[in-house]
Amino acid sequence: MNPRVVRELEILTAIEESTSLTQRALAARLGVALGLTNLYVKRLVLKGYVKTVGFPTRPAARKRLRYLLTPRGVAEKTRLTYEHIGYSLALYRRTRATLREALSLLPTDGVKRIALYGTGEAAELAYLTLREFGLEPIGVFTADGGGQFLGFPVRSVAELSSEEVDRIVLATFDKPEPLLAELARAGLPRERFLTLRRLPTGAPASSRRSS
C-alpha cells in the first residue's frame, strides 16, 4: 500500500478519534515533524476531507486550531480502511505461503535450529508458521535486544553465533536487503538467511528460494 495513503489513513483515524486534536499533538502521535504534518493536513483540507475550527480562547490568547472530519472525510477513511485490510490480508497470505514453501524443505535437510530476527506482526506470522512444522525457534533477536516477545527474551544479534543456528528468518515485511547487510556485517553467513520477500536476482540461491 502506498506510504502516502497509509499516512493519510493514520491522520484521518487520529482526527476521528479525538475531538480536540491540534496539529502539534497530531505530529507527536504520528512521530513526524510538525512541518510535514502541516503539509499532510493541508492536502487533506484541500481534498475536502478535513476542516479546521478554532478553540474557544480568551480574546488576548493566540488562536489555536483543531481538526474535524467532514462527511467526505469519514467516507474516505472508511474506504481506505477496507483497502488497508484487504492489502494486509493479501500480504499475510503471500508471506505465509512463501515461508511455508521454504520451511517445507528444511526437515529433510536436518535443519531444525532456527532463529527469528525481528519483532512485530511479521515475526508473529513467522513464528506461527514455524510451529505448523513442529519447529520452535531457538530465540528471538534484534539489533540491540531487550524486552520480551512471544515469551522469548529478545537478545542482541551480537549474541547470535553462526554455529548456534541452521537458519535465520528475517521477520520483516519491508525490503530485507538492509537486514541482510546488517547481519552479514555481524559475521553471519548469508546462505543461512530466510526472507519473507523475494530477493533480487543474484542473491544467494537458498535466500532466493525462501523469499
Report d(CA 50, CA 42) in Å as an integer.
Answer: 9
**Which pLDDT tens digit goes with each residue over 62-93?**
556 778 899 999 999 999 999 988 888 888 88
Residue 31 lies in a domain: yes
Q: Residues 202, 108: one domain?
A: yes
Q: How many domains does the chain have?
A: 2
Question: Are 36 and 66 in a shared domain?
Answer: yes
Percent of the chain whose predicted confidence (pLDDT) is above 70:
83
pLDDT of residue 201: 53
H or E stretch at 153: strand 152-156
Is residue 119 located within the same domain as residue 161? yes
Q: What is the structure's pLDDT at 209?
A: 42
Domain extent, residue 53, equals 3-88
Q: Is the residue at 94 inside a domain?
A: no
pLDDT band at 153 (very low <50, low <70, confident <90, very high): very high
The pLDDT of residue 211 is: 39
Asked if 127 contacts 150 with a C-beta cutoff of 8 angstroms, the reply is: yes
Tell me how many degrees the CA angle 191-200-84 measures, rounded to the nearest 5.
110
Amino acid at 193: F
Supply the CATH number for residue 202's domain: 3.40.50.720
In a domain, 149, yes or no: yes
pLDDT digits (tens, 9 = 90+) for 88-103: 888 888 888 888 887 7
Do residue 134 and residue 187 come from a single domain?
Answer: yes
**What is the reported pLDDT for 97?**
84
Contact between 176 and 195 under an 8 Å Cβ cutoff? The reply is yes
Closest by Cα among 140, 64, 127, 126 to 98: 126
Q: Average the pLDDT over each of 85-89, 156-160, 201-205 and give the range with the smallest value.
A: 201-205
Give pTM, 2 decimals: 0.63
**What's the CA gap between 169 and 50, in Å, rounded?**
42
Where does the pLDDT of residue 60 fall: very low under 50, low under 70, confident under 90, or very high at 90 and above? Answer: very low
pLDDT band at residue 210, thresholds of 50, 70 and 90?
A: very low
- The whole-number average pLDDT for the span 135-156 is 90
The DSSP 8-state label assigned to residue 200 in this structure reads P
Share of the chain above pLDDT 90, in %: 19
Does residue 8 surpass a pLDDT of 60?
Answer: yes
